[in-house]
Amino acid sequence: MHRIQKIMSMLGLVSRRDAEKLIDAKKIRINGKFATVGQKVFINDIIVYENKKYVITNKLINTQIQLLAYHKKYGEIVTKKTIQTNNTVFENLPKSDSRWINIGRLDVNSTGLLLFTNSGDLAHKLMHPSSGIIRTYNVSINRVMNKSEINKSLSGLDIGNREVGRFHKIKYKKRDNIYEVSLMTGKNREIRRIFNTLGFRVTMLHRIKYGDVSLDALKPGKIRYIKSDTSNLFFY
């Protein structure tokens, strides 16, 4: 049978690395007792994490890693449903034996491509800064950038909170009057903060690509499964 760290990843709860930290902090129980790192988990064992029970079944053990693309609509929130929020992206995702994990975020005013997986390990790999995964966006701002402003956005800017923001690439699409920008990091609201630092106001932010996965013709509010053999994706 599998070790507890792998089971936590298979449940879509956390990565194996994060599971080890939670075990050391005594945040996970197996059959009423605190779990230990490397402990084996068997069919019908009960795991308790964050006051929720998870019964281990054959169906869970045999669950395949899944990765799907979703076209986030304007106004949707990338969070689990709570009393305060009822317009979440998770309402439009298919049911799963394990939990869907969002790979990165888009703020409520942004639209476009979001990736979800049921694997904590895969989510960790795709979001970790060392992955070098490029995220690409179409952005509208309130005026055209000059050469100096473009160079500053590429070389790096102090965007507050002791963080430096920079675009990996930036291209002006004159016909559509939008900028195509790409990032290799996933700092909170990084694109908006870069433009705000330069004195611009972002009027539209739309993610069109994450690594090798493109939004393409996927309609708002709809999903598309990515090939199940995620090992063929360049970022995995």
Catalytic positions, written as ranges = 107
Cα gap 72→108, rounded to integer Å: 9
DSSP letter for each residue of 106-122: --TT-EEEEEEES-HHH
Nearest to 60 by CA among 21, 99, 114: 99
Buried b / exposed e over 187-214, threshold 16 CB at 10 Å, is eebbbbbbbbebebebeebbbbbbbebe
Nearest to 110 by CA among 87, 69, 138: 138
Cα gap 229→113, rounded to integer Å: 20
